[in-house]
Amino acid sequence: MNAPRIHLTYPFTRDQTSKLKAGDIVSLSGVVFTGRDRLHKHLAETHQSPVNLSDGAIFHCGPIVKQSPDGSWRIIAAGPTTSIREEPYMATVIAEQGLKIIIGKGGMGKNTLEACREHGCVYLQAVGGAAAIIATTVKKVVAVHFLDTFGATEALWVLDVEGFAAVVGIDSHGISLYDEVAARSAAKFAAL
């Protein structure tokens, strides 16, 4: 039996995220921001963003991009990067920037889980190894910030997406699929 996809459209409000449960399959449309280590460190330390991230989604991704002769950008590949690298910054960024969705791979730690619960944010697991497929959901590169400062991989890309699929890994109620899998695995291991 296939679970139905829950369609979410930017801005991603707390009302939308509070209805999601760990394990739900979602499809995002609208604006999604990218960010990796350098951006998260900058946001956590300076508390300043060049764009309003409130009710937004930040995708832990270092896209592969190509610039056209007319100056416009095209996303060639957009795979998720390992999210736990952002754990030192994520709770602060969620609280101060008003994010409602984080997208990445591999899960997040306790501080992020608590920030999600407190601020109505969710963590979505994107499909690793599907960078070219995810790139097809990017309809347009709206803008790029910190390109000269951080480089293309670490820049803050503003993407317009349609049909970006992911699974809720951590919901806004503090339920984590990663914790559930770890507990089941530990129980099975103990039984052996």
* 42 assigned to active site: no
The single residue of 40, 42, 60, 119 carrying the catalytic annotation is: 40
List phi, psi (to 5°) of 61: -155, 140
Report, as residue numbers or ranges, the catalytic residues. 40
